[in-house]
Amino acid sequence: MKSPVVALVGTLDTKGEEYAYLRDRIQEAGGSALLIDAGVLGRPSVTPDITRQAVAQAAGREIADLAAAGDRAAALGVMGRGVGMILAELVESGSCSGVLAVGGSGGTSVAVLAFSGLPFGFPKMIVSTQVAAAGGAIAGGSDVLLMSSVADIAGLNRLTRRVLSNAAAAIVGAVGAPPVPVGDRSLAFATMLGLTTTGVTAANVRLQESGYEVVTFHATGEGGRTMEKLIGPMGVRAMLDLTTVEIADEVVGGAKPAGDDRLRTAGRLGVAQVVSTGGTDMVRFGPRDSVPEHFDNRLFHVHNDLVTLMRTSPEECLEIGRVIGTRLAEAVGPAVLIVPTRGSSAISVEGGPFHDPVADAALVDGLRESLAGSDAEVVRMDAHINDPAFSQAAADRLLTISERNDRAEQQ
């Protein structure tokens, strides 16, 4: 049986000793290594299987020109793109079963760019000095496995040998893992927040009982970005996007926005979607002392030691509604907006700390204004987002439009 091939991506001028050690450990673990040199300036201290010249040329450049320009950031970007193109070809041809990179900030940036186009589920791993400080940014909404190098990657010693040996064993184990059965159920994505859990969970159960497999994403910014990236590649057939709190963070300046793609991918691909306003009554920050000073006079709710919530104002809600409505209006497939008029989270219901009918009304005004003339259906429901009746209505509406969408595609 042929041993699995792990592509090792790194700057072999500064990390050659470490990559030679990784190569040997991978071979000992039952794999084989393919060394790809992403360095630019110094000479590689270990012979690569794919040279830096080949990497630069894959990105349409010459390595000599990159070295002469003296712009390290630009050169790393070129090498990251070049490695990405080479990896895509290796993966498509079945010549590579996993990828591993080791580095500081420079090598990590190359790996992040190079690995960004690899499919979900393909084993990918980065050992970096930057994990503790920037783990979320490194992962970039992908399933890349991150390992802290603990010590700087500046030679072999008792610490780095242990970390690199573990990394080699981990990536070989990952590439040897058996395939996971997909099944034949249609796939639905859902969004959830702690304060919308009850409602979303009940709606998910209804979808599952109707034959869907449901994947739920925690709307933490990173969760929304990941979800948007996977809608197309995973063949999603229905979107239960009841928790759009990441839009509130984007508009107001909270800690967990999901970026400009949020609430756009399903619409662009024609996926049936039911959208609601879950969490738009709040903006999220870290611990209370991390909230910017210019918000000091606002209403806060300390969710826990790590999360502080700020109530959105009527003016902010108006703009949040406009953004949600504008993005939903772009949808080419069936889209339903269902608004719970008695509260968009567990703390904005009557008697809750964030209960504010004026702000809620402003949100509806923004939605109505931006959806005027669009094909999206708007439903206002006399319930809060965690009300069983709301969950049932949202799930049933999604089942209806999704089935209709499927029939239209088959004709």
CATH number among 1.10.246.90, 1.10.600.10, 3.40.50.12020, 3.30.930.10, domain 5-175? 3.40.50.12020
Per-residue pLDDT tens digits for 133-166: 766 677 766 789 999 999 998 899 999 999 999 9
Most trustworthy range by pLDDT among 42-46, 228-232, 405-409: 228-232
Q: Is 192 helix (H, G, I), strand (E, B) or coil?
A: strand
Residue recorded with tokens 């999220």: 284
Q: How far is CA 158 from CA 45, 134, 289, in A?
A: 21, 25, 39
What span, in angstroms and rounded, lies between the C-alpha atoms of 327 and 263? 6
pLDDT score for 297: 95
Using a pLDDT cut of 70, give the percent of the chain over it: 98
Confidence of residue 131 (pLDDT cuts 50, 70, 90): confident
Q: At what angle do helices 158-175 and 16-28 cross, to 10 degrees?
A: 50
Q: Which residue has the higher pLDDT, 184 or 357?
A: 357
Strands (E), 263-356: 272-278, 282-285, 300-302, 308-311, 335-340
What span, in angstroms and rounded, lies between the C-alpha atoms of 175 and 128? 20
DSSP state letter for 50:
B
Q: What is the mean pLDDT of residues 319-341?
A: 97
What span, in angstroms and rounded, lies between the C-alpha atoms of 232 and 188? 12
DSSP state letter for 293:
G
pLDDT score for 179: 84
Q: Looking at 94-157, list the stretches that DSSP marks H as alpha helix, in order from N- to C-terminal side.
A: 105-115, 131-139
Ranking 4-8, 81-85, 139-143, 167-171 by mean pLDDT, the lowest is 139-143
Task: Look at residue 248 and tell me whether its pLDDT is greater than 90.
Answer: yes
Q: Exposed, middle or buried, 350 (CB in 10 Å: 0-12/13-18/19+)?
A: exposed
Mean of the per-residue pLDDT values for the chain?
Answer: 94
Q: Is the dihedral angle over the CA atoms 23, 26, 28, 31 positive or is it negative?
A: negative
Structure tokens at 314: 């009527």
pLDDT score for 411: 75
Task: Look at residue 386 and tell me whether its pLDDT is greater than 90.
Answer: yes
Fold agreement between 5-175 and 186-410: yes
Per-residue pLDDT tens digits for 178-212: 888 878 899 999 999 999 999 999 999 999 999 99
Neighbours of 286 (CB within 10 A): 13
pLDDT score for 135: 67
Task: Look at residue 1 and tell me whether its pLDDT is greater than 70.
Answer: no
Per-residue pLDDT tens digits for 216-238: 999 999 899 999 999 999 999 99
β-pair partners for 101: 9, 126
Confidence of residue 243 (pLDDT cuts 50, 70, 90): very high
The residue extents of the domains of the chain are 5-175, 186-410
pLDDT score for 182: 78
Neighbours of 124 (CB within 10 A): 26
Q: Supply the CATH classification number for the domain 186-410.
A: 3.40.50.12030
In 3D space, the residue among 215, 227, 315 whose CA is nearest the CA of residue 266 turns out to be: 227
pLDDT score for 41: 85
DSSP state letter for 275:
E
Confidence of residue 342 (pLDDT cuts 50, 70, 90): very high
Confidence of residue 2 (pLDDT cuts 50, 70, 90): confident
Per-residue pLDDT tens digits for 291-314: 999 999 999 999 999 999 999 999
Q: Please, how many CA atoms are within 13 Å of residue 113, restricted to the half-sphere of its CB?
A: 21
